[in-house]
Amino acid sequence: MRQIAKRNARNRNVKKGIKVELKQFAAAVKGNDVDAMKAELKAASKKLDKAAARNVIHPNQAARKKSQLARALNAKLAKASQPAPAPAN
C-alpha cells in the first residue's frame, strides 16, 4: 500500500509538471515571441517524453500532444510570416 501511495504521488507530480509546461507554452503562443514559443515547445516535449518513458502517460498520448503543440506553433509562425494584405483601391 505504501508503494502505491508513493507512486501515485510521484505520478501526480509529473502530470502536474506537464500541465504547467503546457500552460506556459499556451501563454508563449498568445504572445508573439518566436524564440519563447520554440523554447517552451522544447521544454514541453522533454517533459512529455520523460513521462512517457517512465510510463506515467501512454507514449501515444505524449506523441499526440507533441504533435498538437507543433501544429499550434507552426500555425502561429505561418500566420506571422504572411505579409499584410495591400489596401484595395
> Residues 34-70: pLDDT tens digits?
899 999 999 999 999 999 999 999 999 999 999 999 9
Q: What share of the chain is helix, strand, coil (3-state, %, to 5)?
A: 80, 0, 20
| pTM of the shown model | 0.84
Q: Burial-class residue 44 by CB neighbours within 10 Å (0-12, 13-18, 19+).
A: buried
Is residue 10 within 8 Å of 57, Cβ to Cβ?
Answer: no
| 58 phi/psi in degrees, rounded to 5 | -70, 140
CATH class of segment(s) 2-72: mainly alpha
**pLDDT over 80 at 84, yes or no:** no
**pLDDT over 90 at 88, yes or no:** no
Find the Cα–Cα–Cα–Cα dihedral 37, 42, 47, 51, rounded to 10°: 130
